Amino acid sequence: MPDDPKQGLFFPARQAAAAAPGAATSPSIEAAAAAETRARPGRLQLPRRMVLRWAGWGSVLLVVGGWLNGFLGFFYPHKTGAFGGTITAGTADELKVGDVKVVPDGKFYLSRVPEGFLALWWKCPHLGCTVPWKDNEEALPGDEGFAQKGEFHCPCHGSRYNRYGQIIFGPAPRPMDAFPVTIDGDKIKVDTGPQKAVTRDRSGPDSPQIARA
Ligand code: FES
């Protein structure tokens, strides 16, 4: 294989010779080109050797590119265990009915209602404030059958939500959004992220977002 790319590595030898600055065209090369043109008038001549070289180099590039892709992908950090990924919020026997657990990494509350588990995004559906859980305030309608204390109470404009995330008082236009919950063995897993949040018109015991215990 020639060392100089202009001498045939990437271009046909006669084109490379013609392209060389100040190079005189060899009579034998000119004769060969003329013979090729006469043999196949009107057709672009592409030497088979060049085609094979390009195919060879293309294959090498494909292999190196695939290897680099795998190598870099291995070291690229995948998002797990933080907001935007899947979070293990605890175990199924950790909470009793009526308990609410804050999960800061996922920006949600895990609410244990009689029917199962709900993951409520702490972002207020009104104007986006973080809604705190107030366990010393009176329980709101909807919770009275299984809890006496506790509610979600937004400090910005006073929206108040029960343990299902249902808006009971205040200006919020809908219940708190919910993240999908799955129970894997005894682990409760929550799929977080703004694009995963489910917007509801109402939330209660029949909500499909409740992972049944
Ligand atoms: S942002 Fe929560 S009530 Fe307005």
CATH number, domain with residue 187:
2.102.10.10
- Pair 111, 44 in one domain: no
Please report how many Cα atoms fall inside a 13 Å half-sphere around the Cα of residue 167, on the Cβ side. Answer: 20
pLDDT of residue 37: 55
Instruction: State mean pLDDT over 49-77.
Output: 81
Q: Which atom of ligand 1 is nearest to the CA of 124?
A: 2
Higher pLDDT, 66 or 10: 66
Instruction: State mean pLDDT over 196-205.
Output: 97
- Pair 208, 114 in one domain: yes
pLDDT > 70: what percent of the chain? 74
Q: Which atom of ligand 1 is nearest to the CA of 154?
A: 2
Q: Which atom of ligand 1 is nearest to the CA of 170?
A: 3
- Pair 16, 103 in one domain: no
Q: How confident is the model at residue 81 (pLDDT cuts 50, 70, 90)?
A: low
pLDDT > 90: what percent of the chain? 62
Answer yes or no: is pLDDT of 176 > 70.
yes
Instruction: State mean pLDDT over 163-185.
Output: 97
- State the total domains in the chain: 2
Smallest CA separation from ligand 1 atom 1, residue: 127
DSSP state of 12: -
Q: Which atom of ligand 1 is nearest to the CA of 171?
A: 3
- Pair 188, 107 in one domain: yes
Instruction: State mean pLDDT over 48-75.
Output: 83
What's the CA-to-centroid distance between 66 and ligand 1, angstroms? Answer: 50
- Pair 39, 114 in one domain: no
Q: How confident is the model at residue 97 (pLDDT cuts 50, 70, 90)?
A: very high
- Pair 133, 42 in one domain: no
List all residues whose CB is within 6 A of at least one atom of ligand 1.
124, 126-127, 129, 154, 156-159, 170-172
- Pair 66, 101 in one domain: no
What's the CA-to-centroid distance between 127 and ligand 1, angstroms? Answer: 5
pLDDT of residue 2: 47
What's the CA-to-centroid distance between 205 and ligand 1, angstroms? Answer: 24
pTM > 0.85? no
What's the CA-to-centroid distance between 130 and ligand 1, angstroms? Answer: 8
- Pair 2, 59 in one domain: yes
Among the three residues 50, 77, 104, which one is the final residue of a domain in this structure? 77
Instruction: State mean pLDDT over 157-161.
Output: 98
Higher pLDDT, 73 or 56: 56
pLDDT of residue 48: 80
Q: Which residue, chain included where needed, has tokens 């204390």?
A: 149
- Pair 34, 128 in one domain: no
Smallest CA separation from ligand 1 atom 3, residue: 157
Q: Give the lowest-confidence range in 76-85, 112-121, 139-148, 159-168.
A: 76-85
What's the CA-to-centroid distance between 144 and ligand 1, angstroms? Answer: 24
- Pair 94, 168 in one domain: yes
- Pair 62, 121 in one domain: no
Domain span holding position 169: 86-212
Instruction: State mean pLDDT over 36-54.
Output: 70
E strand residue ranges, the chain:
86-91, 100-103, 108-113, 116-121, 133-138, 149-153, 160-161, 167-169, 178-179, 181-184, 187-191, 211-212
Among the three residues 46, 77, 108, which one is the final residue of a domain in this structure? 77
What's the CA-to-centroid distance between 123 and ligand 1, angstroms? Answer: 9
- Pair 29, 6 in one domain: yes
Instruction: State mean pLDDT over 109-122.
Output: 98
Among the three residues 55, 77, 99, which one is the final residue of a domain in this structure? 77
**Residue 80 DSSP SS3:** coil
What's the CA-to-centroid distance between 154 and ligand 1, angstroms? Answer: 6
Instruction: State mean pLDDT over 153-161.
Output: 98
